[in-house]
A = this chain, B = another copy of it.
Amino acid sequence: MARPIVALLTDFGTRDHYAGTMKGVVLGLAPDASLVDITHDVPPHDVLTASLELAASYKYFPPGTIFLVVVDPGVGSARRGLVAEVGDYRFVAPDNGVLTAVFHDHKPKRVVELTERRYARPTVSKTFEGRDRFAPAAAWLARGTEPTAMGRPVTTWQTIDLPEPQVESSQIRGEVVLVDRFGNLVSNIDRRTFDQFRHEGAVRIAVDGHSVERLVATYAEAPAGSVCALFGSSEHLELAVNGGSAAEVLHLGRGAAVRIDRG
CB distance from A133 to the nearest CB of B (A): 12
The interface size of chain A toward B, counting residues with CB under 8 Å, comes to 68
Check A259 for interface membership: any CB of B closer than 8 A: no
Check A200 for interface membership: any CB of B closer than 8 A: no
Check A73 for interface membership: any CB of B closer than 8 A: yes
* Oligomer copy total: 3
Cross-chain contact of A243 among B16, B45, B217, B230 (Cβ < 8 A): B45
The answer to whether B218 and A77 have CB atoms under 8 Å apart is yes
The answer to whether A27 and B233 have CB atoms under 8 Å apart is no
The answer to whether B35 and A20 have CB atoms under 8 Å apart is no
Cross-chain contact of A41 among B15, B45, B58 (Cβ < 8 A): B15
Cross-chain contact of A15 among B77, B125, B131, B181 (Cβ < 8 A): B181
Specify which chain B residues have a CB less than 8 angstroms from the CB of A2 in the assembled complex.
31-32
CB distance from A14 to the nearest CB of B (A): 6
Q: List 28 A-B contacts (CB under 8 A).
A: A5-B27, A7-B24, A9-B17, A14-B37, A16-B39, A16-B180, A18-B180, A20-B36, A20-B39, A20-B57, A21-B57, A24-B58, A24-B62, A25-B60, A27-B62, A31-B34, A31-B62, A44-B182, A44-B245, A45-B182, A45-B243, A60-B131, A75-B218, A75-B220, A76-B219, A77-B218, A126-B230, A128-B232
Residues on A facing B (Cβ under 8 Å): 2-3, 5, 7, 9, 11-21, 23-25, 27-28, 31-32, 34-41, 44-45, 53-54, 56-58, 60-62, 65, 73-77, 125-128, 131, 178, 180-183, 217-221, 230-233, 243, 245
The answer to whether A28 and B218 have CB atoms under 8 Å apart is no
The answer to whether B39 and A34 have CB atoms under 8 Å apart is no
The answer to whether B74 and A220 have CB atoms under 8 Å apart is yes
Specify which chain B residues have a CB less than 8 angstroms from the CB of A25 in the assembled complex.
60
Cross-chain contact of A233 among B23, B24, B37, B131 (Cβ < 8 A): B131
For A62, the closest partner residue in chain B by CB is B28
Instruction: Say what secondary structure dominates the interface of chain A.
Output: loop
A147 to B213, CA, bound (A): 41
Specify which chain B residues have a CB less than 8 angstroms from the CB of A217 in the assembled complex.
76, 126
The answer to whether B36 and A17 have CB atoms under 8 Å apart is no
A217 to B243, CA, bound (A): 40
The answer to whether A127 and B34 have CB atoms under 8 Å apart is no
Specify which chain B residues have a CB less than 8 angstroms from the CB of A38 in the assembled complex.
17, 20-21
The answer to whether A36 and B24 have CB atoms under 8 Å apart is yes
The answer to whether B37 and A20 have CB atoms under 8 Å apart is yes
